[in-house]
């Protein structure tokens, strides 16, 4: 599948692995892909993010992603569902952090340092995002998988990255409109 990736999309994947390594985590996940997408300049994905007003808001996005990670990766929708069952996620996180230290749930995926290889495997969600990028490219009759398809796949998947992007005005629908026009037809030139 990677032979179909554009240079921009390949760089996103490489940069996601680097984000994972810098954060000391064992597996590359969707958050690392999003952070790598936010690093891009001059690509279709970066154009779309800028068109939707995300330029200059990286710190806010990172803060929101960190807050979701602090909740163990659960979204606000997950927290609302738990609340409907009488479970207060905020209270649980607070109590766990009182006992084990702030950010302990976020640290659950951290590498203990025993890893000998520099390779970082991809978590299931990241693999599904890559597969979703292929589906997005195919659906829009694009021959190559670009960083915009990775972005489309992230916004189509439920989870913290999609929720954070939506909070900042980047939804699957708005992204499709910017990339392919109101009818979602042929790709616009970047």
Specify whether the CB–CB gap between 80 and 163 falls below 8 A.
Answer: no
Instruction: Provide the CB-side half-sphere exposure for 178 (13 A, CA).
Output: 23
Instruction: Provide the CB-side half-sphere exposure for 51 (13 A, CA).
Output: 19
Contacts with 52 (C-beta within 8 Å, 6 or more apart), sequence order: 169, 170, 174, 175, 178
pLDDT of residue 184: 57
Residue 25 bridge partners (DSSP): 110
pLDDT tens over the chain, length 190 residues: 678 999 999 999 999 999 999 988 889 999 999 999 999 999 999 999 999 998 878 899 999 988 888 777 777 777 778 778 888 767 776 677 677 767 656 644 444 444 445 678 999 999 999 999 999 999 999 999 999 999 999 999 999 999 999 999 999 999 999 999 987 554 444 4
Its CATH architecture, for the domain 2-72+122-180, is: Orthogonal Bundle (1.10)
In the block, tokens 């490219």 appear at 137
Would the CA dihedral through 139, 143, 145, 148 be positive or negative? negative
pLDDT of residue 68: 83
Residue 13 CA to residue 17 CA, distance in Å, equals: 6
Helix, strand and coil in the chain, % to nearest 5: 65, 5, 35
Alpha helices in 24-171 (DSSP H): 30-39, 44-51, 58-70, 76-84, 89-100, 124-139, 147-156, 160-167
pLDDT of residue 118: 61
Specify whether the CB–CB gap between 61 and 168 falls below 8 A.
Answer: yes
pLDDT of residue 185: 53
pLDDT of residue 97: 64
pTM value > 0.85: no
The dihedrals phi and psi of 119, each to the nearest 5 degrees, come to -70, 140
């Amino acid at each position: 599948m990677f032979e179909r990736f554009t240079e921009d999309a390949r760089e996103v994947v490489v940069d996601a692995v680097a984000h994972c390594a810098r954060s000391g985590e064992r597996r590359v996940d969707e958050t690392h892909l999003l952070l790598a997408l936010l690093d891009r300049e001059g690509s279709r994905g970066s154009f779309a993010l800028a068109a939707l007003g995300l330029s200059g808001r990286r710190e806010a996005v990172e803060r929101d992603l960190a807050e979701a990670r602090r909740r163990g990766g659960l979204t606000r929708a997950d927290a609302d569902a738990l609340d409907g069952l009488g479970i207060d996620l905020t209270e649980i996180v607070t109590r766990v952090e009182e006992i084990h230290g702030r950010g302990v749930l976020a640290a659950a995926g951290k590498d203990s340092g025993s890893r000998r290889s520099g390779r970082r495997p991809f978590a299931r969600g990241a693999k599904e995002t890559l597969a979703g990028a292929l589906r997005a490219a195919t659906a829009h009759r694009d021959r190559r998988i670009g960083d915009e398809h990775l972005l489309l796949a992230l916004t189509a998947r439920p989870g913290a990255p999609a929720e954070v992007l939506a909070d900042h005005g980047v939804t699957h629908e708005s992204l499709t409109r910017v990339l392919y026009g109101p009818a979602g037809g042929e790709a616009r030139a970047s």
